[in-house]
Structure 1
Amino acid sequence: MEGSQKEGVELLWSPAHSALSLPGSQSFYLEHTDDILCLTVNQHPKYRNVVATSQIGTTPSIHVWDAMTKHTLSMLRCFHSKGVNYVNFSATGKLLVSVGVDPEHTITVWRWQEGPTSLDSLSRTGAKVASRGGHLERIFVVEFRPDSDTQFVSVGVKHMKFWTLAGSALLYKKGVIGSMEAAKMQTMLAVAFGANNLTFTGAINGDVYVWKDHFLIRLVAKAHTGPVFTMYTTLRDGLIVTGGKERPTKEGGAVKLWDQEMKRCRAFQLETGQLVECVRSVCRGKDIFISASNDGTARIWDLADKKLLNKVSLGHAARCAAYSPNGEMVAIGMKNGEFVVLLVNSLKVWGKKRDRKSAIQDIRYIAGGLGREEKGISPDSRFLAVGSSEHTVDFYDLTQGTSLNRIGYCKDIPSFVIQMDFSADGRYIQVSTGAYKRQVHEVPLGKQVTEAMVIEKITWASWTSILGDEVIGIWPRNADKADVNCACVTHAGLNIVTGDDFGLVKLFDFPCTEKFAKHKRYFGHSAHVTNIRFSHDDKYVVSTGGDDCRYLPG
């Protein structure tokens, strides 16, 4: 019995974005009395389907309501004159920022769930937290940082400001251009956020500005030939989508996908037939996942509709699968020691290799941004780690093309590989083994890291290990070593879910450092659970069974 590597399937998630949708029918929220100027959807899982909208008028109001029931949850009575033209929820979903159409374009932060209850509708009236004049010129976008309830950014006509909520006060710093050559303050139309306090803004002249704190550090000239109307960051992989005005060419059109530093671009043909394409809003795809099975197939599934979208025959039994960070490729490990790399859109084979004779137990793309762009492979997809039953983890450099050259391997692994996870910077990999030891190795040389102080400082891009001090509490009393097969920590890092030999799925707090920790249990599998993953937004868990041949989204 080899942990999670018994007969069954393994899966990994696509870094995709899920938009609010109500398939199969239309319904309406009818409480507004005038033209609606803005809408935003709360992204926090606690407030799923919570929407905020506002309208024009001399005494406008912001409505916070449930998209499923159409019930008004809160009514924010504004002092904005003429209307509200932008609203946005904070990271925890508890706060809402609004921008007025008044001459000062007043910015107000609300605690939308607080305040007295209205007798006529049983909705709350909400409470104002802070308010201040935003700018004398028009503001186009105001958005909270995705990890904050106190910091947000506003952009508009020839200005941008970095705001901080301090108690009941709103403080701001203007964006500082400095002495950067060819840079001047443009009218900014869009904003997106990156790691390490980076901010990206799209300008009316087609440039993208990259800011660290409130200082300009880079200028991406002519990211689009016309205005950059919209930007979107996928938090899981940091990739940035931009949409703007562009003349379509053989190289692409008005939608472009960039790496985390706005240094590498992939453009997309929209095939509209227009001389000039114009895109006003962008996001990233639907919620999909891939499974690979002992039946020799790989299958792509739609999570929301629970439907099979596509499948391909692999020719051999499969044991594990992993999406590349940009979602364009998927690597699949086989029972016979081979692994293949498929192009997701077509499911055609991009490359394959067999350096081992025993089963590939886990396979992972690097999560960090090492390397350089070569042969169409982005830096964040440079290395592929392949762990096998032969007590090995091999590293392959994808920038060398379909030859899939092995450039290093981990030494001194005492048993078969169970799970692997890269560090956030891509410098290290942790390996859980059949000897029930967790080891850390350097990438790509494979040297084992034994210094406790070094290991303690590593930030892991993901956590699927069933071993370590961080997960002691997931093991039940009197458990055999093989009883817990698989685990996965949420992208937010708050919870861990496990699958075991008894068909149970369990949810714990993370880290889980106390023995026999409290947890929630979920039933559905009749046999052992072979693998488990959270969706990109942590709203769903998908588990896969072995002998029962089932996958269960929940």
Structure 2
Amino acid sequence: MYLRGRPVTLYAPTLEEYDLAKKEDQPPQSLKLEWVYGYRGRDCRSNVHLLPTGETVYFVAGVVVLYNVEEQIQRHYLGHTDDVKCLAVHPDKITIATGQVAGHDNKKSSRPKSAQHGKGDPSTAPDHLPHVRIWNSVSLQTLHVLGLGGDFDRAVCSIGFSKADGGQLLCAVDEGNEHTLSVWEWQKGEKGHKITETKSSTEPVVASEFHPLDANTIITCGKNQITFWTLEGGTLGKKLGLFEKHEKPKFVLCLAIADNGDVFTGDSNGNIFIWPRGTNKISKALTGVHEGGIFSLLFTKDGHLLSGGGKDRRIVQWDATGLTQTGEVEIPEHYGAVRTLTQGKGNMIVVGSTRNVILQGTLELNFNPIVQGHVDELWGLAVHPNQHQFLTCAYDKKVFLWDALSHSAVWSKELEVPAHCACFHPDAQVVAIGTQTAKWLVLDLTSREPVYSHTDGNEQIECAEYSPDGKYLALGSRDNHIYVYSVDEEGKKYSRVGKCQGHSSFVTHLDWSADSQYIQSNSGDYELLFWNASSCKQITASSSMRDVQWATSYCTISFNTCGIWPEGADGTDVNGSSRAHKADLLASADDYGKVNLYRYPSTHIEAGHRAYGGHSSHVTAVRFLHDDSRLLSTGGKDAGILQWEIL
């Protein structure tokens, strides 16, 4: 096969009749998204809401999640083709609008927005343009899609439904250079009708909302400004908020509107300003009430105002009339800062944090996490050898052990360095973790404490795998070498056997033979090399390895996995692969946010397969659970973990 014009020689097993022209069908099995671990609070706002159904709605990657915490059930809206960036709930509490960034295929195109979309040019496929999808939260049906005519630039970062007229209009702000504000009659036709648009600011805009009492007033805020817009006769009039004697904040970070129509804002100086209805001047100021910025303001059902602090992680309760403080609570540091506050069931408050955690609780009864996840790029995924559990580790230094049946974190631990890969010992007493700093460590699964650590080379450990008999550990490094260790005392004692030298680029994947004697490995320049594990010597006669049985299929370039490569693929287009334990299915993780399912072995280029979206960035790893009941996938930049049921 050829990758980037380079020939890669692969040997078929001797007993197999191989016909290059044969077409491989897609597998009979399919995937259904069962659970999504994670939430995007790191850099998105106002994106957690409680629906009358009892479901909490939020998003991560390209999935909008509707999660009933009490019943432990998730439903998923999967209409988006890339990162969801914003969310708004209609006054009817059933209709939801979500906005997304420009899709993968669109990123490949450097043509300006105004360029004509050529026929047959996938780089400008309309559903990969930034757009807003409006959908029904009960049926999950898409009702309208706004912006496929190229109306938005880069991404839609903030949206809001009108309230005073029953929600007939929608406002949206994009992330183009001018942060264009547009107003839509969203119910007109499938694509809605844009009434008007105007340049709102050359600086970032973080919030946009219709005034609940004035149907034609919109308020936007962001860097260096708060702006009051009036919609009249199809055009938008603009009035900038005046700070007068008050120090102008670098950012107006959030806004909330009281029952009487007064606008409350929180800013980067920790101030709360009150702007009376209909004016663009401050009538009252509470200065420095938080250390650092105020990321969220919320009027609760019982008439209080809550403010959520970024730097100080405090939630402060105010008497909304006299603005005197009546209570406060601090969110524990490892959950991050308060990103968004929303009303939960009864007097519960739901908090979305900057470390991608959703917490629920009250000021009196503390806050407990209901959703947890990673915050930084995620590559490490390992499945437990005999339980419905799996482990993830990421560049945020966090390690999570998850239970796939209860859909919850069993435990989490913070390491000293960013982690990149992981694998369980076959006896399931320990797990090995490779890091970005060339250090690798072994954690005891019971005590969660390191029982061994060592540094090999000075570059990232790319992959790590124990041999099937548990007697060896192989670590593939970014320094082109594979380090092999013998393992004793149930994974607690390690002695270096040697290092495999021969790759001319960094090691990307490795597999052990079923008898624990051999290793096969891939590298960044698309090599497939074979090694004798006990001597660390390369086996240069590749054809002599054609009949070896391999315990796993993590190597993306091998005879049994060559079908996962699309025609004309670059060697970086497929990030990972995994074979089901029954050896009937093969899954791959690609650079376009797709999880792909093939028959195993997949030995013909352009093999038939099923592709599934949900991730919004490169998918970094896929793994089948020990009993093949489910497949897990991890997203790189989106840091999401998706759990798929195999049907």
* TM-score band, normalised by shorter chain: 0.3 to 0.5
Whose RCO is larger (CA < 8 A, sep 6+)?
A: 2
Normalization by structure 1: what TM-score?
0.47
Larger-Rg structure:
2
